[in-house]
């Protein structure tokens, strides 16, 4: 350790009280976090790229400073999907500090990692007050049945109004309009469940029909439109 002459010539003053870092909540415990291995928790966060043409939702399950589970969801940019594939391979096994300083291929994923690091390091995780936290695999439960991201895709214009394209329930097949032309419901197919059925040997047409549902007052619609064609 090198000291400047000014410091070398200073009178030594004894340090008084030793203050611990403020404890943060982690998986049902209060922890004085001093090292990376002191960090645990499951949390979510979002990031965006510099031109803001795409975004990433990142979910990490950290145990003793090491990322044990990662869920990478991206939207808005075709290249991001391939970046997500690489990032999902890179993240598990790294400490949160390593991960923050690793190129995760896509700017949006890097920003999401930065935001998550702040949440985790400050004890603002989803499992801060959950004793023992959540088991590895909890991140996958966010996807629900069919293991597909929760996506909302809507398009609208002043001239022609709104088109519902995809909801959490699934791919929108038809929009139901009332006598005033206002949306009162929609018909959808749950793509995740449909694909699972097809993989199990169910005829595609049957799988499609069995996973169709409606939302709202679709049955009362005066007009039904295909939002992608009409």
pLDDT truncated to tens, each residue of the chain (230 aa)?
999 999 999 999 998 888 889 999 999 999 999 999 999 999 999 999 999 989 999 999 999 999 999 999 999 888 899 999 999 999 999 999 999 999 999 999 999 999 999 999 998 999 999 999 999 999 888 887 778 888 899 999 999 999 999 998 999 999 999 999 999 999 999 999 999 999 999 999 999 999 999 999 999 999 999 999 99
pLDDT at residue number 227: 96
User: How many Å is the Cα radius of gyration of the chain?
Assistant: 25
The angle, 0 to 180 degrees and rounded to 10, between the axes of the packed helices 78-90 and 107-121 is 50
pTM (two decimals): 0.86
β-pair type (223-225, 153-157): unpaired
Residue ranges with strand state E in 35-93: 41-48, 55-63, 66-75
| Strand order from edge to edge, sheet including 55-63 | 41-48, 55-63, 66-75
pLDDT at residue number 20: 87
50: DSSP letter: T
Task: Give the residues across from 174 on adjacent strands.
Answer: 187
């Amino acid at each position: 350790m090198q000291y400047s002459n000014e410091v070398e010539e200073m009178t030594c003053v004894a340090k008084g009280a030793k203050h611990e870092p403020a404890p943060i909540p982690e998986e049902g415990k209060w922890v004085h976090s001093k090292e990376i291995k002191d960090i645990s928790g499951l949390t979510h966060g979002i990031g965006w790229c510099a031109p803001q043409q795409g975004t990433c939702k990142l979910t990490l399950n950290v145990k003793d400073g090491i990322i044990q589970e990662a869920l990478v969801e991206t939207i808005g940019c075709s290249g991001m999907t391939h970046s997500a594939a690489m990032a999902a391979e890179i993240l598990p096994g790294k400490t949160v500090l390593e991960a923050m300083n690793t190129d995760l291929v896509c700017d949006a994923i890097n920003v999401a990692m930065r935001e998550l690091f702040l949440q985790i390091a400050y004890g603002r995780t989803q499992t801060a007050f959950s004793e023992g936290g959540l088991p590895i695999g909890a991140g996958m439960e966010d996807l629900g049945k069919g293991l597909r991201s929760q996506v909302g895709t809507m398009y609208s214009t002043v001239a022609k109004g709104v088109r519902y394209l995809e909801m959490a329930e699934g791919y929108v097949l038809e929009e139901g309009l009332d006598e005033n032309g206002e949306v009162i419901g929609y018909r959808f197919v749950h793509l995740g469940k449909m694909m699972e059925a097809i993989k199990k040997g169910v005829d595609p047409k049957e799988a499609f029909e069995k996973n169709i549902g409606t939302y709202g007052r679709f049955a009362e619609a005066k007009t039904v439109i295909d939002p992608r064609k009409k």
